[in-house]
Structure formats: C-alpha cells, structure tokens
Chains A and B, each alone.
Chain A
Amino acid sequence: MTAQLAPEAPGAASLVRPVAATGWRLAVRRFRHNTLAVIGLVVIVVIVLFCFVGPFLYPTDQTHTQLSQANLAPGAAHLLGTDAVGHDMLGRLMFGGKVSLMVGIAAGVLATVVGTLWGSIAGYVGGWVDAVMMRVVDAGIAIPALFILLVISAITTPGVWGLIVILGFVSWLVPSRLIRAETLTLKNRDYVLTLRAIGGSHARAIGRHLLPNSVSTIVVAATFQVADAILLVAYVSYLGLGVQAPATDWGGMLSAGLTAAYSGRWWLIVPPGLAVILVVCAFNAVGDGLRDAFDVRGR
C-alpha cells in the first residue's frame, strides 16, 4: 500500500471545527445566554446585599420590644409596618434573612461536601465497600428528614451552628448518589486506565482526573442543595424548632405572623413568604442554568 502522509484526510479535517473558548469560558457564555439563570443570580445577589449590607443603611432595633410601636401598618416611619412587639418589619426581614441565608447556604454546602466524599469513596473503591455505603444511603433516604428533625428538636434546642450541622447531615444523601454515579463512569475512562497502567497513584487519579471532571456535577448539586436547605430552614423554624428568640429567620417570622394574618396584618406574612419563594426559585434557576452550561458535548 502506498503511504499517504498528508497530515489528515480532507474528509476527517472537515470535522475539526474552530473552537474559540475553553470549557469554562464556554460554560460562562452559555450561562449568560440563559435569561432565567441570570435573573436568578441577580436576585440572589440583591437579596444577599439586602440582608447583609441593608442593616447598615437602615438600622433598626431588633432586640428590644417597643410595645408603643406594636402592630403599626406600613407607613412613612416603618416602610413595612411593625410586628406584635414593635420590631420594624423591614429591618426584621433583613435580620431574619441573614440567619436563613447563612444556615441555608452553609447547610447546603456541608451536605454537598459530605455527599461528595461519601459518594466518591463508594464509587472509586467499589465492591463490598460501595455496597455497604450505598445501603446506608438507601436506609437514610427511607427515613423522612422532617421526622429526624422533629426528634432532634424534641431532645435539644439547636443554635445557628447546630441547625447547620443537623440540616447538613439530613440532606447529604442525594448528592452522594449523584457523585457516586459520576465517579463510577469517570474511573473507567480510558485516561484513568492509562494512568493506572503506567503506575500512577490513586491520589493522582482522584486529584487530577476525577475531582476536576466532577466539579461541574458538584457545583450544580450544591446549588440545588442550598435551595432545598433554605426551604428546610423555613420549615423547621415555622414549626418552632429553629433559632430561638430574639433571633429569628424567615420561617420563624411566618410562624409568628400567622395568627396576625387573620386580623388583616398582611405585612407580617407576605414579605417573609415572598422572600423565601424568591430565594428558592432563584437558586433553582441558577442551578438549572449551571447544569445546562456545563453540559458541554465532547467532554
């Protein structure tokens, strides 16, 4: 046969399309084209600024009761009115939001970290270790999280940190399954096998190949976990098991305002309710956007 040493046949060369961006830049570009996700991101930034910077621009007293100012409707002095003990509702929205966001984000991140470690170990080691670890996850998923939370709350009264740890440890199960599946496919990729064949260590396989390639999955999982955790904080506090007075969060505010809602004081209920809905939707939109952005063909 005659040697054809052209660099590439014309037929094959047509397959090579000029690709300008790297994987990450491509992902950013895709994300920016997703209007809903960008709106979600803006909403999150605005609400975070509102809760953490807002109190400096709009300082209010959220510790002392001021019964003279109780139950005022929204007006010039109090833009969103006051509650039954005279706290300014706008200030309280910021004050409670700080707790909701902090606990939600921290618990979501904690759940993702625990889930990632658990799932990646199970997936990478495989065999009976995987079987045992995944049966633990199955068992955990079979028990409703709310039931566990109720039992724990009946025993102790958690502070902010306690709440983060508890919420984190009831919601790591789903991310652990996701990451395990990702690890299972990645560890059998040809480039990992090649590395193993020439004597590369497990640490290198995990650190250089498995983790960088599952970052996208982890980030997306984390975003959804944060949304779930914020909702979970609201549940727990609504049931009166959250942070204790005078501290509060959006769920706690809803709970406190519930009785007043029937007497027409809507400003106790609507703002924190809307805030929770807005933040959870925003995180979900961002998660969706990230998932689509990372879904780059030819990985």
Chain B
Amino acid sequence: MSILTTTDLGVSFSTESGTVDAVRGVSLHVEPGETLALVGESGSGKSTVALAAMGLLSGNATATGSAVVDGHEIVGAAEPALRSLRGSTVSMVFQEPATALDPLTRVGAQIAEVIRNHGDVSAADAAARAVDLLDRVGIPSPAQRARAFPFQLSGGQRQRVVIAMAIANSPKLLIADEPTTALDVTVQAEILELLRRLAADTGTGVLLVTHNMGVVADFADRVAVMLQGSIVETGSVEDVLLRPEHEYTKRLLAAVPRLAVAEAGAAVTSGGAVTSGAAVASGASGASVADGSDGSDGRRGAAPVVDLRDVSVTFGRGARAVHALQGIDIAVHAGETVGLVGESGSGKSTAARVALGLVKPTSGSVHLFGSDLRTARGRDRRALRSGIGVVLQDPVASLDARMSVAECIAEPLAVHRRGMSSADRRKRIDEVLDAVRLPRTLASRAPRELSGGQRQRVSLARALVLSPRLLVADEPTSALDVSVQETVLEVLRELQDDLGFACLFVSHDLAVVQQFAERVVVMRQGVVEEQGTTGATLMHPTTDYTRRLLAAVPVPDPVVQRQRRVERLATLGAVTA
C-alpha cells in the first residue's frame, strides 16, 4: 500500500488580486522505501504539494481533491488529527537549517521534545534516545553535542539535527523540501548520503522536493516533473532524466549546466595523472583543455585590469577577529573571464568586494587598470571606478523599487556623465536594453513588474551602460531557475565577445564556472587553494580540496552519478583509513 497517495489534488490561494490556482489535478503516490522526487522551477507548485500533504497550508489556501497519508485523509482533516500524524507518521525536513531549530534550546532537548510529543516516554529515556538519534545521523560525540545550542553547530550539522528530529518517531513518510539547497556541495553530498541510508534502513518513503537535477539523479527512484501547478511527466529516474518525453522536461534538462568530469575511474586511482582524458565534456566553451599555460600573470603581456597582490582582510580585532582573506593573489586580464569558486565562507565574495573597492584590504595592494587604489584620490578614483560594472546576486535587492527601469540603468550615467543630454541618455538606455535582449518598452516599467531573469538583465544593462573594462559579477545567476540562468549567461557571454570586457565571475556552481570562465581560482577559508586554466584545474585538479569539491557535485545523470557516488565514498574511505 502506498504511504502517500494524492488524487486530483488542487490548491488555490486567495490573494488581494484574486484567486490563484497554485496546484491543479496532481495525482502521485509514494511507496514505502521509495524516493519520489518532485522537481520543477520556482512557482511550479512543488512546495505547495509538499505542504498540502502535511496539512500545513497557510490560512488563505484552499485544498481540493484528496491526499492520503498512511490511510488518513489530510485534505479537510481537523487540526488535532493532523497534529497526531505530523512528527510521528509523516515528518518534514525544510530548506533552511538555521531557522528550523529553536536558537535558545539545546539540540538534544529539541529532539527529546519531538519524541515526548508523540509517546509516553520519560524525560530520561527521551534524552537517551535523542543521543542515539544524533549518533545515527552521524554527529560525532553525540552525548556532548546534545548539550550544544544550534549556533554552536555548522550548517551541515544543524541539518543533521533537523533530520534527527524528523526521524525521531520512525515516520513512514519523510517530506524533504529542498533539504540541501542552503548547503555547500560537499555537505550536500553527506546529507544526501545520510538520507539515503536512513530511508533504506527503515523502509521510509521519501517525497523529495527539489529544483536540482543532480540531487534527483543522486537520490530519487522515481521523478515527477511539475510545470505551472500540474505534473507533466512521471517515471523512473533513468527514464525521465535520460529519455525525457515531455517538451518541458527536455528543455529543463538541456538548460542544466553540466560539469564536465574526467572519465570515471581515472581520477580515483591516481592523484593528478589522468591520461584517459576522455572527458564527458558537453560544451565547456571557454575551457580549452589543450591550453597548457597556467595563466599566471606575466605570461600575458599586458598589465591586468585588476590585480590583487598579497591581499589580506581581517574583520574585527583581537580574539574575535575573522581573517576573511589571507594573502591572496588574483589578477584578471583584459578580455578574459576569471571564475572565483569556493564554498560559503571561503572569502570569494570578500575578494570581489576588495576588487570593487567596497572592502579595504588590511594589507596588500589592489591595482585597478594599472593604478593603485590606495593612492588614487577624488577625481582619479572616481574615473577609475567608471570602468567597473557590477552585477550582484539578489535580483530583488539589486534594483531600487522606487525607480523605473530606465532610471536604474541611467544611474551610472548620472554619476559619471553629468553633461549628457537626456536624449542621448535615452538613446544609450535603449542601446543597452537591446544588448541584453530586453524590449525597449520595459524602460518605463517598475522593477517589481519584472521576473527575476529580466531583473538580472536590467542589472547587467546598468553595469554595461558606461562600457566598462571590467565586470564584477557576484553569483549573478544563483537565485535564478536554470532555464533563466542559461539565458542570462548566454547574453553575458555574447556581450563579452562583442565588447571585450574582462570579467571576475564569483560563483559556487562549478558547472557554471566551467562553462563560462577561462581561468578559475579555487578559494578555501580565505586562501587561494589552486588556480589555473579552467580546463586544467577542473579536469585534473592538483589539490585534494578541489578534487573533493568536484567529486561532491551531483551530475544530472543517474547512471554516471551512481558511479561517482561509489568512487567518492571509496576516496573518502581511503583518506580516512
């Protein structure tokens, strides 16, 4: 018998501007011990289905149809009945481990509370079981860690605690809504491994909600693809990911940036000496494997457009000082794209902000277009700055909601080209709107009326309006859906070909960087771990860290991914042994 069955499930939200149908006619089932992945882009209604199955929809939502969990109807059920189901029969793991835990309660007590909510268990027994659970989710020295507060744990450990709470009462159904989206890839790989093991051990059915095709390939048995509130395709993970039927699934998979990886087997056996070189490359445009140069400055004739030499940045002082950067050297030459990659806390965004002059280095020097930023003053400094374009991550916060699109784009002109006539200004705005392939009619609209992808293109237009020599892009596409990301990257690449600006591209996504950058700088804990041409560095990394990072990226091919997983675990086993 299925542990979760939804039949013709529909959810609509009543909002100020009328009723919105978020989910229509969704029928799916999850068997015990099986993982069903519900995939789709933002707004597809995948999270709404998950919440409806928990009976956790917000007050303005109305559910129709049926959702049956372990024989209990959820749609229209009374709150007390739902409460006794939640946490015991069905439980949920959310995206953000930082907010899923009570910051003022020790983690052991939080787990014990879940146990005691659903069973007549003494406090001492519950506490002992909490320690067991922490052990099962792989937290080292669980007895001590049970007394820790959430802030004393890392993001990955917090997510492990959340999972411990979710499995505390051996649920028959586990709903995981983007459980690894907020985590770094290496941590993501560990959490997925944990979830897989737990589900296999206990025969728990898992409903996995995600946008990441790599995670699907890694974890799911079956896949349901959602588009605008309906399921368009269902099938086994191999069928859907390798032989998609529906047009939308095909388009979605085509848009996923794929990490070109060295041939399986080769990377594991010997460190850097990969000779079988038959890379599963599927279009690493900028990355030329044959290019033997290590890309260090000096080999290129011209001076770099931006040059960070031995830069250190320390925030705070004394015992609470944080060494965000420790003596890094990064140079970007004219016309090239340098990808800056690393996990959270590696200092990659800080490095970009140093290049932009937003963060003052504690020591070391920053040269922009050949001039030292420290000595440039007033007018010179402003002139230097006019050669920079900036695109930042958040499509919502990047544009001032009180300005029109035209005003947003014209802002750099207002700063640096005061004398420009308004007719010239309008002409220039139209030019850059054309360049980023947005209709000119958008100029008078408010940013609020635009989609995320359109907003990022407006940001790009603003960055290009002064014809910069350097573009600094800090995770410009990580808040976007893959298909939108593809369009934005495409526009960016074409413009770079036409205009020849240099680009410092910060990203946590190795696949995107591999496609987009000629050189790559891998950062870890404020130091440069490794740098070189993208082809060489990401195909044949010389440091263990880069190798681990690459191995942890899930690829959206279930067969390849299964092999990679086995290899990764073997490598990790070898390291620990």
Contact = CB atoms under 8 A, between A and B. Distances in A.
Given A11-B483, A193-B358, A198 B416 contact: yes
A138 B191 CA distance: 46
A11 B481 contact: yes
Q: Which 4 A-B pairs have the closest CB atoms?
A: A199-B385, A9-B483, A11-B41, A197-B356
A8 B403 CA distance: 23
Interface stretch (B126-134, B250-258, B423-431): B250-258
A200 interface: yes
Interface in B351-381: 356-358, 381
Nearest to A194: B390
A11 B454 contact: no
Interface of A: 1-19, 22-23, 189-191, 193-201, 204, 208-209, 212-213, 298-299
Interface residues of B, number: 67
Nearest to B438: A7
B396 interface: yes
B448 A19 contact: yes
B484 A15 contact: no
B388 A16 contact: no
Nearest to B15: A17
Given A197-B357, A197-B390, A200-B415, A8 B454 contact: yes
B255 A4 contact: yes
B450 interface: yes
Interface in B201-228: 227-228
Contacts of B277: none
Interface string B372-409: 00000000011011101110111011111111000010
Q: Which of B381, B401, B402, B450 has the most CB of A within 10 A?
A: B402
Contact of B446 (A16, A23, A199): A23
A193 B402 CA distance: 16
Contacts of B508: none
B469 to A, nearest CB: 12
B42 A199 contact: no
A7 B17 CA distance: 26
Provide the main secondary structure of the chain A interface.
loop
A219 B389 CA distance: 35
B453 interface: yes
A143 to B, nearest CB: 32
A13 B385 contact: no
B32 interface: no
Nearest to A33: B16
Interface string B444-481: 00101111111000010011001000001000000011
Given A4-B486, A212-B402, A12 B452 contact: yes
A15 B472 CA distance: 28
Contacts of B385: 197-199
Given A8-B451, A199-B382, A22 B394 contact: no
A209 B448 CA distance: 16
Contacts of B390: 193-194, 197-198
A209 B400 contact: yes
Nearest to B258: A1
Given A1-B283, A12-B453, A197 B398 contact: no
Q: Which of A11, A22, A201, A298 has the most CB of B within 10 A?
A: A11
Contact of A1 (B415, B452, B515): B515
Contacts of B490: 3, 5
A224 B315 CA distance: 39
Nearest to B22: A14
B448 A23 contact: yes
Contacts, number: 149
Contact of A11 (B228, B392, B403): B228
A1 B451 contact: no
Contact of B484 (A9, A190, A199): A9
Nearest to A9: B483
B482 to A, nearest CB: 8
A15 B43 contact: yes
A14 B43 contact: yes
B486 A298 contact: no
Given A1-B254, A15-B451, A23-B402, 7 more contacts: A7-B487, A10-B248, A15-B452, A195-B411, A198-B390, A198-B416, A208-B400
A17 B449 CA distance: 7
Contacts of B412: 198, 200
B282 interface: yes
B40 interface: yes
Contact of A13 (B40, B394, B415, B451): B451
B446 A22 contact: yes
A289 to B, nearest CB: 15
B388 A198 contact: yes
Q: Which of A8, A15, A197, A204 has the most CB of B within 10 A?
A: A197
A226 B315 CA distance: 42
A298 B386 CA distance: 30
Interface in B481-513: 481, 483-484, 486-487, 490
Contacts of A195: 411, 415
A204 B400 contact: no
A22 B401 CA distance: 10
5 contacts: A9-B41, A194-B390, A194-B462, A204-B415, A213-B402
A123 B51 CA distance: 39
Contacts of A200: 411-412, 415
B227 A11 contact: yes
A197 B399 CA distance: 14
A227 B446 CA distance: 34
A190 B452 contact: no
A16 B449 CA distance: 7
Contact of A12 (B257, B415, B437, B483): B483
Contacts of A4: 251, 254-255, 483, 486-487
Contacts of A1: 254-255, 257-258, 282-283, 486, 515
B302 to A, nearest CB: 23
A16 B41 contact: no
Q: Which of A2, A198, A208 has the most CB of B within 10 A?
A: A198
Contact of B472 (A9, A10, A197): A197
A60 to B, nearest CB: 48
Contacts of A191: 397-400, 408
A200 B386 CA distance: 9
Contact of A198 (B389, B437, B451): B389
Contacts of B416: 198-199
Given A1-B282, A190-B393, A198 B466 contact: yes
A1 to B, nearest CB: 5
B64 interface: no
B44 interface: yes
Contacts of A11: 40-44, 227-228, 248, 252, 481, 483
Contacts of B437: 7
Contacts of B483: 4, 6, 8-9, 11-12
A213 B403 CA distance: 10
B503 to A, nearest CB: 15
A12 B254 contact: no
B254 A193 contact: no
A148 to B, nearest CB: 37
Interface in B245-300: 248, 251-252, 254-255, 257-258, 282-283
A189 B396 CA distance: 10
Contact of A10 (B227, B282, B358, B463): B227
A122 B390 CA distance: 27
A19 B452 CA distance: 15
A190 B391 CA distance: 9
